[in-house]
Structure 1
């Protein structure tokens, strides 16, 4: 028992030391990243026509499987077909241009950092899009900070307000803040085993007050305003602070539910706003998504009838900014792993 007690004390000291080291590192990294972001030149876009990319994939496989004698005649025939197709496309475009689909990617972290690119991409598209066009966002996110994902959802809502059809494709996960974003769309397409939902709010933090007190370390916190600070990691928490913190979580949950209800009025929000996440097949039966398919299936089908373009933001960073962003992302990824363990589904 003495060994376990000493080991537990040692482990607590190590955790305290790590927290004490990580917090200043995160502050410094965030400061460097923010300064770099303010000084960074406007982003540049890379646009790839996915129709051409799919044709290239097909041709590579065809040529790889042809006998050597057939390859020359195949390439000659292909050039003829390409010329004919180009002439046909020019004539068709002059009469009735093909509708377009623009594809964006959003890979969300706790802070929804990808919104920095998303806002520029949507601003650029809104200057170009027509009602016949469509925007597809390939979304992957397990959620994070409420205000960050609220902003990301608001950026997507700009498309809805301009009556531009918006489709969200989820291959792996759109949970919590990720589902808040997805709910904005006209259509949600999910892979059969994508995790969907988690309409809830979570907050957790360790408290080291007893450890500090046992080691004769004082922690002093000064505030102005009754509820400026409700619970802390190092101070002594009380029932009043805990109750207020829980009240704030409930209020946030109510706002989340109302947001989803407004975006998807056909959904029985009360039945799904339990904090649970469901696999795509279950989510479809609950009304959380509208279609089961991978983003690949959806875009390949779209390319048969539309011109499909993938839009990506390219941003050059200074070495100072790269260092700051790398340090910040390392800390955030560590936090994401710990947060993810609380809601992780069992392995298959």
Structure 2
């Protein structure tokens, strides 16, 4: 028994050393490896939609009805093909069938998704034509000013290229999220989507009094009168507070001017209060142009346009991939052990 225990301990140490060496080698290789480009995924949503309809027909219709429906589809396809070949002009139009490029933006507080979105927009603009359209399914409650300012600027690239831009909001586009949405030619929101929050917020915790009671001094040295206004550790002054509030007001003014320039139909002073509205209320206040889900909007274009989803995935380094795989294996093992433990305890 002692031999088995010693051997298990030795084996565990050996495995630990091996894992450590592999991690180090992976990090070194990742550091030396040249940056690899990400991958662009292109999916034609029409085909997925048609496949679902065909599967439902196979499951729900009897053989006779299914056969009749297939004949009708073939007949309709022949008639459409014949109509398209009537004139050379109609053939040219058929070749230039409208495309809807669908992009997804799921925003966090840093607007991290802009890293992928900028690549997606660059790819789409390289092939899009004026008769096409870009649809952005946007979900965000806002975040840092510079992050969402960049995201809005990326959407402006589409407008500047004279490509129609539609933003669909199914859940929320508030604060920085609405800053992005207002760039669009058309904003569509679900009935209970949350929009607005045209305001600016900032908070800074301060523990100076706690440190003062503990006889802990904090020294802050700056060059420049307003290099630091409010701090977490030092004593804040009334002058610093006023400057901090003024900075917020200036940022709010910039936000309002931007929204007004994109949607001049808004009564900006009435809606730039930081308040939010649901989709139907947002329509009344001219924050959106229509109330509809993104699914309904895309389905309405399946018959007359190619609806194409474009997704850019960031490349992952070897160390990151290895780390994720190790973490995943550890997680699965831990869950398995915990499950056995709880079963044995009767939980």
TM range, normalised to the smaller chain?
0.7 to 0.9
Q: Give the match for residue 293 of structure 1.
A: 292
Taking structure 1 as the reference length, the TM-score comes to 0.76
The answer to which structure, 1 or 2, has the higher relative contact order (CA under 8 A, 6+ apart) is 1
Q: 2:59 aligns with which of 64, 88, 93?
A: 64
* Structure-2 change in CA distance of 1:190 and 1:152 (3 Å): same
Contact 1:280/1:292 (8 A) holds in 2: yes
Q: Deviations over 1:222-275 (max 9, x none)?
A: 221111111111221111111100000000000000000000111111110001
Aligned counterparts, 1:109-128, within 5 A: 109-128=108-127
The TM-score, its normalising length taken from structure 2, stands at 0.76
**Quick check: 1:156–1:181 contact (8 Å CA) kept in 2?**
yes
Q: Does structure 2 conserve the Cα–Cα contact (< 8 Å) formed by 1:40 and 1:317?
A: no
**Partner residue, 2:251:** 252
**1:183 matched to 2:178:** no
Change (3 A) 1:204 1:85: farther
- Tell me the alpha carbon deviations over residues 133-185 of structure 1, each in whole angstroms, 9 at most, x when there is no partner: 00000000111111111111011001111111000000000000000000110
Change (3 A) 1:59 1:286: same
- The 2-side partners of 1:85 and 1:306 are apart by 18
Query: CA shift at 1:75, angstroms?
Result: 9.5
| Contact 2:101/2:308 (8 A) holds in 1 | yes
Gapped regions of structure 2 (runs ≥ 5): 1-26, 325-347
- Which residue of the partner structure matches residue 10 of structure 2? none
For residues 106 and 152 of structure 1, the distance between their equivalents in structure 2, rounded to whole angstroms, comes to: 10
Equivalent residue number for residue 277 of structure 1: 276
Residue ranges of structure 1 left out of the alignment (5+ in a row): 1-31, 326-348
Q: Could you give the per-residue CA deviations for residues 57-83 of structure 1, whole angstroms, max 9, x where no partner exists?
A: 11121112234x559847975995798
Larger of the two Rg values belongs to structure = 2
Query: How do residues 285-324 of structure 1 correspond to structure 2 at under 5 angstroms?
Result: 285-321=284-320
Report the counterpart of residue 173 of structure 1 in structure 2.
Answer: 172
Match of 1:45 among 40, 43, 48: 40
Secondary structure at the aligned position of 2:157 is classed as helix
Q: 1:89 to 1:152 in 2, by over 3 A?
A: farther
**Paired position in structure 2 for 1:10:** none
For residue 277 of structure 1, report the CA deviation from its aligned partner.
0.8
- Tell me the secondary structure at the aligned position of residue 132 of structure 1: coil
**C-alpha distance 63-143 of structure 1, shift in aligned 2 (>3 A):** same
In terms of mean alpha carbon deviation, does 201-210 or 162-171 score higher?
Answer: 201-210
Cα distance between partner residues in 1 of 2:119 and 2:194: 28
Q: Could you tell which deviates more after superposition, 79-88 or 51-60?
A: 79-88
Q: Are 1:55 and 2:50 counterparts? A: yes
Secondary structure class of the residue paired with 1:47: strand
1:185/1:72 Cα in 2 relative to 1: closer, same or farther (>3 Å)? closer
TM-align CA RMSD: 2.8
Q: Using a 3 Å threshold, how does the CA distance of structure 1 residues 120 and 259 change in structure 2: closer, same or farther?
A: same
State the match for 1:212 in structure 2: 211
- State the distance in 2 between where 1:311 and 1:159 align: 15
SS at match of 1:302: coil
Change in 2 beyond 3 A, CA 1:75/1:292: closer
Q: Distance in 1 between matches of 2:207 and 2:183?
A: 40
Residue of structure 2 equivalent to 1:226: 225
Q: Is the Cα contact below 8 Å between 1:63 and 1:71 reproduced in 2?
A: no
Q: Distance in 1 between matches of 2:314 and 2:76?
A: 34
Question: Structure 1 residues 241-250 or 89-98, which shifts more?
Answer: 89-98
Query: 1:120 is paired with a residue of what secondary structure?
Result: helix
CA contact (8 A) 1:175 1:199 kept: yes
* Offset from partner CA, 1:19-61 (integer Å, 9 cap, x none): xxxxxxxxxxxxx9xx99x964222211111111111111121
